[in-house]
Structure 1
Amino acid sequence: MSPRFARLSFVALVVVAVSAIAVARRSSSEDIVEPPRVASAEALPIETESAPPLQPTGWLNTEPLTAADLEGNVVLYDFWTFGCSNCQHTLP
């Protein structure tokens, strides 16, 4: 290693070290900004309506049910048409 390269390396190392110390001294814990406080929220009341009664023409895998039979359960209605190719792929 040549003496000139060693001197330049040492100077570069000193510059980096001094810069790191300067940055560390400028940023203190007092500069940290606290996130804003969020106001507490109350839950909204749940308002539900009963589903309108349906008169299906056919049932699969069960006896015919009424809306009263399904009350209190989660019910998913799957409406489809033969004109929809994606609907045809979900046919039972």
Structure 2
Amino acid sequence: MGPNRVLERHRNGEKALGFHIPLFSEFYVEIACKMGLDYVGFDCQHGAHTPPELDTLCRIAEGYGVTCGCRIVDHSEASILTALDRGIQIITVPNL
């Protein structure tokens, strides 16, 4: 797992640019990464991303040095740890 580009930007007083990808698409992840964005986000609450799909999408993004974010299903410890195990560096917890 590489450095968190969103945190780096924040520490430098800059804004991070990213794109949320609502469906499983390796193509969209590659395009977003090639655009020079700082992060890509995935929606596991309303989207249909499974843990194996997150593995694939995160590996692609990490290959470009892009940070991965995810809105998880719920605020349970299991959901948070599953996202972290997949390489997610930015977690959005729903319904808080």
Larger RCO (CA within 8 A; separation ≥ 6): 2
Q: TM-score when scaled to structure 2?
A: 0.20
Q: TM-score, normalised by structure 1?
A: 0.21
